[in-house]
Amino acid sequence: MSTSTETIEQLKQEIERLRKEKKAVIMAHYYQRDEIQEIADFIGDSLALARKAAETDAEVIVMCGVHFMGETAAILCPGRTVLIPDAKAGCSLADSCDPEEFAEFVSRYPDHTVVSYVNTSAAVKAHTDIVVTSGNARKVIDSLPADEKIIFGPDRNLGEYINSVTGREMLLWPGACHVHDRFSLQGILDMKKEHPGAKVLVHPECRRPLQLIADKVGSTAALLDFAATDDAREYIVVTESGILFEMRRKCPSKTFLAAPAQDAECQCNECDYMKLNTLAKVRDCLRDGAPRIEVEPELAEKALRPIKRMLELS
């Protein structure tokens, strides 16, 4: 970043002033830039962010994450102002599930329960019976009767993981995240040779072969908990590299290595959407009250039901 340290400090002070003036709470996902995680009131995985949004009495919620996270907060908190630092912070996984195509797919299986990952648009959630996150997907699926027919979307890799641990045969939508789907198995095996004592932490949005070599597969919060309570000294972290900030903060005596991605040309272990948010944009959105996320009430009502079911079940 070209911003000087002094400017970062000034930005932090301005954010502090505006946060109080606007009675705002700043929430950040673990994939946000370090300096945003530093100033957030709350940092969490997508499940914790949804829960926190449902609980907060703040008038303004600044959701430092991607669009679907802001949308989920807006659906859970009607009447509150939900701001997102950069309106272009989308999600390739959410984009891999077009609402009309999903509705058509679902309509072909009327006897199936539709379970959707939280990384979806409100329009996809409106065609869903229960929303899940990677942090509670297994628990929610386990709560359904063993013979229940299930459609799971949009993340194929997470769906395969849940099928493997629950013994289900859920029908999977073929969506994926452009970051998690591109981690290199060979790159991680090579890294393991250099760091034989390192344990491998894998997010379930990664492909099946990576899940199979993992010491722990889990949501960002589950990977953090594992690292904090496990006895290894070194870890290869196979998820978006923003998580390293909180891992190093929580476990200062341990070493966390970002896993390499398949494409040597680009930093594929970074989510370019998550990284669109900057401290300056956090300040701007607090000051301007925009970009604001608003969900049309009829759609919000339909999308709220499966989100509420998730929060009740997990």
Positions that interact with ligand 13P (CB under 6 A): 31, 45-46, 119, 133-135, 205, 219-220
Per CB under 6 A, 245 contacts ligand SF4 = no
173 binds ligand SF4 (CB under 6 A): no
Q: Does 238 bind ligand SF4 (CB under 6 A)?
A: no
Please state the length of the chain.
314
Q: Which does 219 bind (CB under 5 to 8 A by kind): ligand SF4, ligand 13P, none?
A: ligand 13P
- Residue 30 in contact with ligand SF4, rule: CB under 6 A: no
Specify the residue, 77 or 222, whose C-beta has the smaller distance to ligand 13P: 222
Reading across the β-sheet that carries 255-258, which strands appear in turn? 216-217, 199-202, 234-238, 255-258
State the sign of the Cα–Cα–Cα–Cα dihedral 213, 216, 220, 224.
negative
**Among ligand SF4, ligand 13P, none, partner that 92 touches (CB below 5 to 8 angstroms by kind):** ligand SF4
Q: Which of 37, 92, 96, 211 binds ligand SF4 (CB under 6 A)?
A: 92
User: Does residue 177 belong to the site contacting ligand SF4 (CB under 6 A)?
Assistant: yes
Q: Is 86 in the site for ligand SF4 (CB under 6 A)?
A: no
Give the interface segment with ligand SF4, choosing from 9-17, 171-179, 193-201, 207-215 (CB under 6 A). 171-179
Q: Are 293 and 70 in contact (CB under 8 A)?
A: yes
Q: Is 241 among the residues that bind ligand SF4 (CB under 6 A)?
A: no
Sheet holding 60-64, edge to edge: 42-44, 24-29, 60-64, 81-83
**27, 39, 47, 66: which one contacts ligand SF4 (CB under 6 A)?**
66
Quick check: 91 binds ligand SF4 (CB under 6 A)?
yes
Which of the stretches 36-44, 72-80, 141-149, 172-180 binds ligand SF4 when contact is defined by CB under 6 A? 172-180
- Across the beta sheet with 113-117, the strand order is 130-132, 113-117, 150-153, 171-172
Return the amino acid letter for 106. V
Determine which residue in the list 32, 56, 119, 128 makes contact with ligand SF4, applying CB under 6 A: 119
Residue whose CB is less far from ligand SF4, 119 or 121: 119
Pick one of ligand SF4, ligand 13P, none as the site partner of residue 220 (Cβ within 5 to 8 A by kind): ligand 13P
* DSSP of 184-245: -HHHHHHHHHHSTT-EEEE-TTS-HHHHHT-SEE--HHHHHHHHHH---SEEEEES-TTHHH
The reply on whether position 304 binds ligand SF4 by CB under 6 A is no
DSSP string, 8-52: HHHHHHHHHHHHHHTTEEEEEETTS-HHHHHH-SEEE-HHHHHHH
* Dist CA 91 CA 68 (whole Å): 8
Query: Which residues within the stretch 178-207 sit at the binding site for ligand SF4 (CB under 6 A)?
Result: 178-180
Residue 6 CA, chain-centre distance (Å), reads: 31
Cα–Cα distance, 186 to 191 (Å, whole number):
8
What is the contact surface with ligand SF4 in residues (CB under 6 A)? 66, 91-93, 119, 177-180, 240, 271, 273-274
